[in-house]
Amino acid sequence: MNKPQIIGLGLSGLIGSRIVELLSDKYKFIDLSISKGVDITRIETLEIIKNYKEAKFVLHLAAKANVDGCEKDKVLGKDGSAWKLNVEGVKNVAEVCLSENKKIIYVSTDFVFDGTKKMGEKYSEDDTPNPINWYAKTKYEGEKAVQNSGADYVIARFAYPYRAFYELKKDFVRVIKERLEQGQQFNAVEDHIITPTFIDDIAYALDVLIKKGSSGIFHIVGSESLSPYEASLKIADVFGLNKSLINKTTRDEFFKDKATRPFNLALKNDKISKLGVKMSTFEEGLIKLHKQLKI
């Protein structure tokens, strides 16, 4: 039996490469990248998608995702690379998905919310986004482009992804772990709430969404929200490292002269959980990661 085919845009990155590792026994991934001549900002290069008639899904991970880099791009507006990639590129992909009858799985972010919910409250898929920095603005515009395209879609919002191995980019967990291992003092923000997500869980959640034929917006995020300071303490605990190296700081101090960060980015994952997907708490994810590193 032939495996279902998934066209991927951005499969070589931190998240995409792990999805391929974990799901390639179930799906055939077709990696369409710049090396294959694909530039999502030029719709004519997406004509290649028409060659893959059997592929019913396009997993769209490609984006300009550096929050502070995007903020510098803001002065260029729609002429900047953030807008071109995160908005115009997404429109192009969605347009081709509609014409070729393929479902687009568009990866978005927790940053689309303004973070003004009270401590202890979480954002659901039904809450209205209100982005407060340029990266978030472009990602939300990308979401709207997908929703207005007429194509069948999943909008999958991820948050603070982490994994055991990936040489090309360190996620926040491995950055903190390395600093602790090297005995470095560092500051961690205490007035910013995040929802860290184990990338392996993301892969399995996407598998379920595909198999169930689900459409709409889903928060594919971990089951625990906490501050970066609290997250740093948990990393130290799980890996047996020195917690006294971790110092508290504030958003205003840590992100001085950088893009504004929302206060509370706690996201609910009830919708994906009701489909039978178990999303790890941060501690559970760290324990799984620890075991993978020891293999």
Distance CA 184, CA 35 (A): 39
According to the CATH classification, is domain 5-294 in 3.40.50.11810? no
Q: How many CA atoms lie within 13 A of 211 on its CB side?
A: 13
pLDDT for residue 260:
87
pLDDT for residue 35:
77
Q: Which of 221, 78, 61 is nearest to 141 (CA)?
A: 78
pLDDT > 70? residue 3: yes
Residues whose CB is less than 8 angstroms from the CB of residue 117 and which lie 6 or more positions away in sequence, other chains included: 123, 264, 266
pLDDT digits (tens, 9 = 90+) for 264-278: 999 999 999 999 999
pLDDT digits (tens, 9 = 90+) for 27-51: 999 999 887 889 999 999 999 999 9
pLDDT > 90? residue 256: no
- Strand duo 161-162 + 186-189: pairing: unpaired
pLDDT for residue 292:
96
- Look at the chain and count its residues: 295
What's the pLDDT band for 257 if we cut at 50, 70, 90? confident
DSSP codes of every residue in 19-59 = HHHHHTTT-EEEE--GGGT--TTSGGGGGGGGG-TT--EEE
Distance CA 6, CA 208 (A): 14
Distance CA 38, CA 53 (A): 17
Q: Once rounded to an integer, what is the mean pLDDT over residues 209-232?
A: 98
For residue 194, the SS3 value is: strand
What's the pLDDT band for 217 if we cut at 50, 70, 90? very high
pLDDT for residue 36:
81
pLDDT > 90? residue 2: no
pLDDT > 80? residue 108: yes
pLDDT for residue 9:
97
Distance CA 239, CA 174 (A): 11
Q: Once rounded to an integer, what is the mean pLDDT over residues 209-219?
A: 98
| pLDDT above 70 as % of the chain | 99
DSSP codes of every residue in 201-263 = HHHHHHHHHHHHT--EEEE---S--B-HHHHHHHHHHHHT--GGGEEEE-HHHHTTTS----S
pLDDT for residue 274:
97
Q: Which two tokens stand for residue 278?
A: 């178990």
pLDDT for residue 295:
67
Distance CA 78, CA 61 (A): 20
- Find the helix or strand (DSSP H, E) in which 289 lies: helix 282-294
- Strand duo 28-31 + 197-198: pairing: unpaired
The structure's pTM equals 0.96
pLDDT digits (tens, 9 = 90+) for 160-181: 999 999 999 999 999 999 999 9
pLDDT for residue 66:
92
Give the chain's end-to-end CA distance (angstroms, integer): 32
pLDDT > 90? residue 11: yes
Q: Once rounded to an integer, what is the mean pLDDT over residues 134-160?
A: 98
